[in-house]
Amino acid sequence: MTEREDSAHISVRGLTMAYGARVIQHDLSFDVRRGDIFVIMGGSGCGKSTLLKHMLGLIPPAAGDILYNGESFVRAQPSEQEAMRRCWGITYQSGGLFSAMTLGENVALPLQLYTSYREEEIDDIVAYKLALVGLGGFQAYYPSEISGGMRKRAALARAIALEPEILFFDEPSAGLDPISSRLLDDLIVQLQESTGATVVMVTHELPSIFAIATNSVFLDAETHTMIDYGDPRQLREHSTHTVVRQFLTRSASGDAVATEDRQ
């Protein structure tokens, strides 16, 4: 592995997240390596999605910093922050597609807003991105006309429209049946391998965590800080924290541990 491939793409340093006097998490420090599929995990209410929003710059931190390629996002000027965001692709729990727009129009939107491509070029890119996620020929369909799994894939096509360096996912498998969820996991891995993008994902789904994650951080709701960090397969077997091992071996919720771990 080259130095560039093993370097920190994202660095969180001494991050404290709070709503007024209420501290959600404090003293978070971890790295997301270039090319990681990095999972933010923990029990309900621990602040997983809040951490993602901080990393996206939607909420300012109470303390600490977040760096992209070694450059502070928190201290950057608004124009510099906007330039950093242009390198990101984001999908939300609900998919976030515009219901009044076709899939093709949804995917075309960032290209129309942020590039100087001609209409014919945009049409070609849209067709290519939809084909990448298994939706070739669905440009004219509206979100209401396709399944939940297909909407998730269409949202992913929009997220990769601008060839992002980093992809952020908030509970990508939420609401999907196990087969659709696994297909989405496989698609995320395929896109990561073909584009080299770094992936940051919030999820509590054990099959997804063990099938695709290469690294992770565990946020604890009781102590309000991170208590473990590393490959979730290693944490499952060797974490010194009982709560982490219990989270990663739980079965009462119906979560099944994937039998095939990503190498």
- Whole-structure pTM value: 0.87
- The answer to the question of residue 128 being in a domain is yes
The pLDDT of residue 258 is above 70: no
pLDDT the model gives residue 251: 66
DSSP 147-164: -HHHHHHHHHHHHTTT--
pLDDT tens digit string along 89-119? Answer: 998 876 789 999 999 999 999 999 999 999 9
Angle at Cα 208 formed by Cα 205 and Cα 213, nearest 5°? 120
C-alpha dist (Å) from residue 29 to 3, 62, 236: 21, 14, 21
Domain count, the chain: 1
32 within 8 A of 207, measured Cβ to Cβ:
no
Q: Which domain range does residue 145 map to?
A: 95-163
- DSSP secondary structure letter of residue 144: G
Give the pLDDT mean for 136-149.
94
pLDDT tens digit string along 160-216? Answer: 999 999 999 998 888 888 888 899 999 999 999 988 999 999 998 899 999 999 999
Give the pLDDT mean for 55-65.
97
pLDDT band at 255 (very low <50, low <70, confident <90, very high): very low
- The answer to the question of residue 235 being in a domain is no
The pLDDT of residue 37 is above 90: yes
pLDDT the model gives residue 15: 98
CA distance 233 to 138: 37
- The answer to the question of residue 111 being in a domain is yes
- The answer to the question of residue 78 being in a domain is no
Helices 148-159, 103-114: axis angle to 10 degrees equals: 20
Give the pLDDT mean for 139-157.
93
Mean residue pLDDT of the chain comes to: 90
pLDDT the model gives residue 260: 39
pLDDT the model gives residue 6: 58
The pLDDT of residue 262 is above 60: no
Angle at Cα 88 formed by Cα 193 and Cα 45, nearest 5°? 95
- The answer to the question of residue 130 being in a domain is yes
- The answer to the question of residue 15 being in a domain is no
165 within 8 A of 198, measured Cβ to Cβ:
yes
- The answer to the question of residue 173 being in a domain is no
* Percentage of the chain lying above the pLDDT 90 cut: 80
Q: How many residues does the chain have?
A: 263
- The answer to the question of residue 231 being in a domain is no
- DSSP secondary structure letter of residue 73: S
pLDDT the model gives residue 123: 97
pLDDT tens digit string along 223-237? Answer: 999 999 999 999 999
Give the pLDDT mean for 62-67.
98
